[in-house]
Structure 1
Amino acid sequence: MDRSATFSLFVRGLPSRRGFLVSAGLESALDHLAGFRVTSDDVQDFADALGRPPAELRPLLGLAFDGEVRAVPEGRVVFAGEPLLEVTAPLPQAQMVETYLLNQVSHQTALASKAARCVLASAGHPVVDFSLRRTHGPQAGFQAARVGSLVGFAGTSNVAAATRLNLTASGTMAHSYIEVFPGEEDAFRAFARTHHGPVAFLVDTYDTVSGVTTAARVLRELGRPGCAVRLDSGDLGELAGRARAILDEAGLPDVRIIASGGLDEHAIDALVKGKAPIDVYAVGTRVGTSADAPYVDSAYKLVEYDGRPTMKLSSGKVTAPGRKQVFRAPLTTDVIALWDEAPPTGADPLLRTVMREGSRLGPRDDLAAAHERFVDDVAALPASARRIRDPEPLEPTVSRRLAALTGTVRRDLEARLLGGPGHGGTWKRQADPT
């Protein structure tokens, strides 16, 4: 069972609060495939886990990925049913990488889609990632920082991610820092003495209004440009208004207000629409875990084996057979088609060949390019798909050839497996089922 197989990775349905998804995770998936090798230690581990003699699993020794990958580049807007990537390789290779590919693409797509909505809700105000403390492990925190940058976040508090990915490291100060001083003013002055550039004072350790007043006094004496105060609790809209008034009365109209504390796109949307004088939004737990939709209902399904299209008929989980392509044109819905179909007039293919014979076909994609794709795709969406409350996702259509192939394969399977007309027949490959 080592002939060529194609698996398609897609999302069955969008979460109820999503009008679109943002493709992400491809780069780490390709890294895994490029380095995939079954070693002697792996064989021994498999044997131990299965309670089988190592000799039975020794044929796997040295197995590496030398197949092809066609995928949607990171940063593109995608919808339910559209393949995010397709793997074509000898069956053991294509099957054994399933779990890792699903893990990376599903997790990062969920996070990127949540972060994208925060950017839309912020209406041009900078958004910063503060999620590392609550993400599901440090790798998840790294990925949250990465996909946040992909969709336009201005920085991250994750210094390791900022260093590795050349992002802006952004943060303020700890409540504990303030608590070890006799008072807030002592803490603010000490902090300013050791930070010679702009400073951001955390003002809600004891009483927010008093903290802003103290911060304003210290900042006025410093006379440094680019400084800020940060609100981290309470009614952020009401407190931001009071803070703005205090800062303005102190002659500090340029001191920015940073808000954090349980924010997501819904809270940001309410604050922006309420005209809260907040300059920067720092998002953490709810965004780094995509709290309202912590996963996408993704699948990695066999669609072709040894040149024979195949599909799944399970109730509620029917799949479409054959290798596929997705075509996108302005002012129309996407079309899911067979991989070798000609594009409709004015349409471009979303899936590109990114790996062949186990090797990348070009340099690693970069975040700047992914961000440009995201900006262009989101701008092309209808307002109903972009809105924060009750978004309406677009539903792709299916090409006539793919619909015909699906019907043919279904009828053949039902006939052979359920004893209907044609029982016992064999599949005859059709170049054009229409």
Structure 2
Amino acid sequence: MTADTPVLTPGDALIAGRTDVYFNRTKAIVSRFGDCRVTYAVFLRRPVVSAPRLALEWLASVAVERGTEIEIELMHKEGEWVGAGDPILYITGSFTQLADLETLYLQKLGAPCVAAHNAYQMALELPQVPFLAMEARHCAGAEMQEMMAYAASVGSAAAKREGAQGFIGNANDQTAHWFGNARGYGTMPHALIGYAGSTVRAAEMFFETFPDESLTVLVDYFGREVTDGIEVCARFAELAAGGRLSVRLDTHGGRFLEGLDPAESYAVLERHAPSTIRRYRSETELRHLVGTGVSAAAIWRMREALDQAGYPKVKIVASSGFGVTKCRVMAEAKAPVDVVGTGSFIPNTWSETYATADIIEYDGKPQVKIGREFLLRKNGARKRQG
């Protein structure tokens, strides 16, 4: 360290260590040759739902720590649809204070906006069905977990404004606040059923431990979804009659639900949603309709079995790969699903989450690299403060 090397605060040291080196060097160069006031336009290259809160809160905290002013113009409020290349926000301030922040605020913006868009679309595809966010196990650490839960809540709120039930909660306590809850939802994993030795015994253990809770029982562990589901209903007939019992289908893609095969899956849909089979558009859609795993035919077959056994109030919770396309197929097949548990709003193609920032003004003079003129502020554009 030389005599003229600045002493970094703990916050600045963390930023310097995590930002791209060329931003740190730009900060040093501008500090040496003279600061200026700049404006950044921040955007994504694909349509999204605006989910800027985590990025904005972080920028606000940095401004306080550095004792500088960072002006934010939020062009699309949280939950609004944003077109490809349309700036979500403009950031204005000292170049030396903003130069090293780009890497980190882009990390906090892009992925939540895409995930919010996915959650919004999923909820609109099945507007009468409540969703549970079950993304945590697929996240790369606590920060991503926070971003994805926040994103699902934003997409859900946007869908609710259009009449959907949206996401009613999630699967862990730490991020439950995004859904207005104090605690997460959940009953049992497959591991508990393996430990108990039978699906019914696992349900008994759960109920003995949590007698005041509604009971949702996984029924695919032994490959006997229908048989074990009916046995659980018989064991807990009072809960079943009172609407406090649900069976959860999580059949993996390597096999069919008990009693189904391709021919029988077609037959089930012919009984309940015959037009769906006749207008499927892709192999993926066909698999969601009559393939292995939790297909529309599987959900219809489970509903048939429950009703025929005298348990019409027992609900069906479905999980396993419920992304936008699968939700759309389920809606077309009118699959009688009562709750969907999913983490599939996590962006599938990560490159689509890359947010970008470009400086569009230097000391008030419009200037941007060739090809990005569309980011320049339009004369007379309405200014919306974040």
Show the counterpart of 2:114. 110
CA distance in 2, matches of 1:321, 1:81: 8
Is 1:232 aligned to 2:250, yes or no?
yes
Deviations 1:101-154 (A, max 9, x none): 211111111111111111122132112111110122222122211221222212
| Residues 106, 298 of structure 1: 8 Å contact kept | yes
Q: Secondary structure at the match of 1:299?
A: strand
Show the counterpart of 1:205. 221
CA-CA distance at 1:309 after TM superposition: 1.1
Q: Secondary structure at the match of 2:334?
A: coil
Is 1:217 aligned to 2:243, yes or no?
no
Show the counterpart of 1:161. 175
Return the letter of the residue paired with 2:218. Answer: L
Show the counterpart of 2:340. 281
Return the letter of the residue paired with 2:236. Answer: L
Show the counterpart of 2:202. 187
Show the counterpart of 2:4. none
Is 1:123 aligned to 2:127, yes or no?
yes
CA distance in 1, matches of 2:197, 2:128: 39
Identity %: 27
CA RMSD after TM alignment: 2.2
CA distance in 1, matches of 2:335, 2:178: 34
Return the letter of the residue paired with 1:29. Answer: A
CA distance in 1, matches of 2:304, 2:351: 38
Q: CA, structure 1 residues 182+297, in 2 after alignment: closer, same or farther (shift >3 Å)?
A: closer
Q: Secondary structure at the match of 1:96?
A: coil
Deviations 1:38-97 (A, max 9, x none): 9xxxxxxxxxxxxxxxxxxxxxxx844312111122111110222111111111122222
Is 1:70 aligned to 2:73, yes or no?
yes
Q: Secondary structure at the match of 2:40?
A: strand
Count matched residues. 297
Question: Of residues 237, 247, 259 in structure 1, which corresponds to 2:318?
Answer: 259
CA distance in 2, matches of 1:197, 1:88: 51
Return the letter of the residue paired with 1:263. Answer: F
TM-score under structure 1 normalisation? 0.64
CA distance in 2, matches of 1:75, 1:308: 31
Show the counterpart of 2:373. 319
Q: CA, structure 1 residues 145+217, in 2 after alignment: closer, same or farther (shift >3 Å)?
A: same
Is 1:8 aligned to 2:41, yes or no?
yes
Q: Secondary structure at the match of 1:80?
A: coil
CA distance in 1, matches of 2:179, 2:318: 25
Question: Of residues 132, 137, 151 in structure 2, which corresponds to 1:133?
Answer: 137
Structure 1 gaps of 5+ residues are 15-19, 39-61, 325-336, 344-348, 355-434
| Residues 198, 224 of structure 1: 8 Å contact kept | no
| Residues 64, 93 of structure 1: 8 Å contact kept | no
Q: Secondary structure at the match of 1:311?
A: coil
Show the counterpart of 2:50. 23
Select the structure that is richer in helix: 2
Is 1:245 aligned to 2:277, yes or no?
no
Show the counterpart of 2:361. 304
Show the counterpart of 1:34. 60
Equivalent residues in 2 for 1:354-373, closer than 5 Å: 354=386
